[in-house]
Chain A
């Protein structure tokens, strides 16, 4: 168990290191001089040189790489090229939007998908199953930003229950802030819920055929009790894997959904920073997002060990394939 986690931790660190290197090299070979971007094309050569020096642009590439990674690790990141404030100061208020949004979306997706998937498996082949699978097949095909537009059309334009976009800020109170996040969270969650429901159904179906389920039934548990006490825990492993993967989809999804709903979050910051060629913000955000994805997948690995005692005692080998 400890060995397994240690290996995963090392793999995580190596992946992040490689990711930071890729991002740095890719942005390094791009044409464009950050100093020129800030001062404009009419700037004098000596002013440009002074700014380059103050930004550390005159140093060799390896020194700049080390400075950058060191800054990321200690939280002393460079200033944004367009906002001229340190990146963490930009991130804080936007995380307060994107974090709750992603969490709300994940919660909604799981809360919808798990019961529906289990229900479909339990009622396999009957009308409930066919309906759930049909709707989920449709859900997988719907682009989340279009779903966002549809939700706006129904709940903001038609029924006028919820705002069509924008964010009042948490200082406006929990109610208005949450109201602004519900439609975007739904737009992110529903396509993911469709995938998760399908995976839940097949995971539960697989478990239902196992010998221990028959044993549980034979010792007198009802169908539901057997499923609850023995089935779900075993079905959780593939589910947790998919949820981990979905988290990275949700993060990336905020780029487009925050644009649809004009939410001032991380995704929108990323999109704007790319548009403004604010490469300082872009490279920090990309690595931070990759790190978040990596850490979440690491936690998924840890949860395997918690869910599966065989892994905890190091008997089952964990294959890479």
Chain B
């Protein structure tokens, strides 16, 4: 599908992302727009309970049926998209906000700073991601903000490592030597020359991390550690649906499908962007 292409000849060029890439972009855009729409309009109030209408199948009034409290499933899925996207974007943004400067610093300074950043990374990778997230939210208390912190925390080492790796190869390029000779300081060079050149790599990584963050947010809310009612989240919907698995499997299918489609879209987009952006960043002959 959108696996890295074999060689330069078959690599997508220009703004062509390939079928997978465009599909991914369309899905990501669709989910984002649904989330935005849910801010101003949903078919019903996602939190409104109508016990008379509980566990109904699809109808004209409720296109995707209702849950065990008679709440409209479509409205809840739309509101869930908002929480999922908001939590993931903010968490990945925070993680990148700390991780990218750390990586830039490590690559620019090398020496003990580099060593310290890398050892911090090793330490962070010693704790399985979900374990850290569960621990953080459990200790700070459940809630969307703490879920964001927990997810941001494990994004820091990822961005630090990717930034450092990409930045190191840029630092060896001739134009950086030129900037050094022109008397530019390391922080200036990092911001003016290194960062723009590794932007593509970071965007690709960011796309993948948002997909992972959506999965992590869903896991946390499934465990009851994510956003709290009346906020809706896909993970929590799945948790509640498990009780009614026998009665109404639809309730367990829909939020899961929403997660899968969103994550799939982001992954497809990420893969296509990587194919599109990475060639320029691959080490060239002469770089080591």
Binding site for B on A (CB under 8 A): 11, 14-16, 18-19, 22, 26-27, 30, 130, 133-134, 137-138, 140-143, 145-146, 149-150, 152-153, 157, 164, 198, 201-202, 248-249, 251-253, 255-256, 259-260, 270-271, 274-275, 282, 286, 289-290, 293-294, 320-321
Say yes or no: B130 contacts A143, CB within 8 Å: no
CA distance A30 to B139 in the complex (A): 8
Say yes or no: B3 contacts A133, CB within 8 Å: yes
Residues of A within 8 A of B261 (CB): 141
Residues of A within 8 A of B252 (CB): 146, 149-150, 153
Residues of A within 8 A of B135 (CB): 274, 282, 286
CA distance A60 to B29 in the complex (A): 55
User: Does B185 sit within 8 A of A, measured CB to CB?
Assistant: no
Interface string of B98-134 (1 = CB under 8 A from A): 0000000000000000000011001100111111001
User: Does B209 sit within 8 A of A, measured CB to CB?
Assistant: no
Say yes or no: A286 contacts B127, CB within 8 Å: yes
Among residues 51 to 66 in chain B, which have CB atoms less than 8 Å away from a CB atom of chain A?
Answer: none
CA distance A274 to B245 in the complex (A): 27
Query: If A15-B122, A22-B123 touch, does A149 touch B139 (CB 8 Å cutoff)?
Result: no
CA distance A201 to B2 in the complex (A): 13
Say yes or no: A138 contacts B264, CB within 8 Å: yes
| 6 A–B contacts from the bound complex (CB under 8 Å) | A30-B139, A130-B1, A141-B263, A146-B255, A202-B3, A289-B128
Say yes or no: B218 contacts A26, CB within 8 Å: no
The 5 closest A-B pairs by CB, nearest first: A252-B128, A146-B256, A274-B138, A252-B130, A141-B263
Say yes or no: B139 contacts A249, CB within 8 Å: no
CA distance A288 to B131 in the complex (A): 12
Partner among A141, A270, A275, A290 whose Cβ is within 8 Å of the Cβ of B267: A141
Say yes or no: B139 contacts A146, CB within 8 Å: no
Query: If A286-B127, A320-B118 touch, does A152 touch B245 (CB 8 Å cutoff)?
Result: yes
Query: If A133-B3, A146-B238 touch, does A293 touch B139 (CB 8 Å cutoff)?
Result: no
Among residues 110 to 166 in chain B, which have CB atoms less than 8 Å away from a CB atom of chain A?
Answer: 118-119, 122-123, 126-131, 134-135, 138-139, 165
CA distance A186 to B98 in the complex (A): 36
User: Does B43 sit within 8 A of A, measured CB to CB?
Assistant: no
CA distance A321 to B167 in the complex (A): 12
CA distance A118 to B118 in the complex (A): 34
Say yes or no: B249 contacts A153, CB within 8 Å: yes
User: Does B213 sit within 8 A of A, measured CB to CB?
Assistant: no
Among residues 160 to 179 in chain B, which have CB atoms less than 8 Å away from a CB atom of chain A?
Answer: 165, 168
Residues of A within 8 A of B128 (CB): 248-249, 251-252, 289, 293
The distance from the CB of A205 to the nearest CB of chain B, in whole angstroms, is 9
Say yes or no: B1 contacts A253, CB within 8 Å: no
User: Does B223 sit within 8 A of A, measured CB to CB?
Assistant: yes
CA distance A150 to B118 in the complex (A): 40
CA distance A153 to B264 in the complex (A): 22
Partner among B4, B126, B242, B268 whose Cβ is within 8 Å of the Cβ of A15: B126
Residues of A within 8 A of B4 (CB): 202
Residues of A within 8 A of B122 (CB): 11, 15
In this complex, the interface size class of chain B, counting residues with CB under 8 Å from chain A, is 35 or more
Say yes or no: B168 contacts A321, CB within 8 Å: yes
Residues of B within 8 A of A138 (CB): 260, 264
Say yes or no: B126 contacts A274, CB within 8 Å: no
Interface string of B242-264 (1 = CB under 8 A from A): 10011001001101100111011
Interface string of B1-21 (1 = CB under 8 A from A): 111100000000000000000
Binding site for A on B (CB under 8 A): 1-4, 118-119, 122-123, 126-131, 134-135, 138-139, 165, 168, 211, 215, 218-219, 222-223, 238, 241-242, 245-246, 249, 252-253, 255-256, 259-261, 263-264, 267-268
CA distance A270 to B126 in the complex (A): 17
Partner among A140, A150, A289 whose Cβ is within 8 Å of the Cβ of B131: A289
Residues of B within 8 A of A320 (CB): 118
Say yes or no: B127 contacts A15, CB within 8 Å: no
Say yes or no: A274 contacts B256, CB within 8 Å: no
Say yes or no: B238 contacts A252, CB within 8 Å: no
Say yes or no: A137 contacts B264, CB within 8 Å: yes
CA distance A134 to B23 in the complex (A): 13
CA distance A149 to B215 in the complex (A): 15
Chain A, residue nearest B128 (CB): A252
Chain B, residue nearest A248 (CB): B128
Residues of B within 8 A of A321 (CB): 165, 168
Chain A, residue nearest B136 (CB): A26
The distance from the CB of B186 to the nearest CB of chain A, in whole angstroms, is 19
Chain B, residue nearest A142 (CB): B260
Say yes or no: B267 contacts A137, CB within 8 Å: yes
Residues of A within 8 A of B215 (CB): 143
The distance from the CB of A239 to the nearest CB of chain B, in whole angstroms, is 17
The distance from the CB of A145 to the nearest CB of chain B, in whole angstroms, is 5
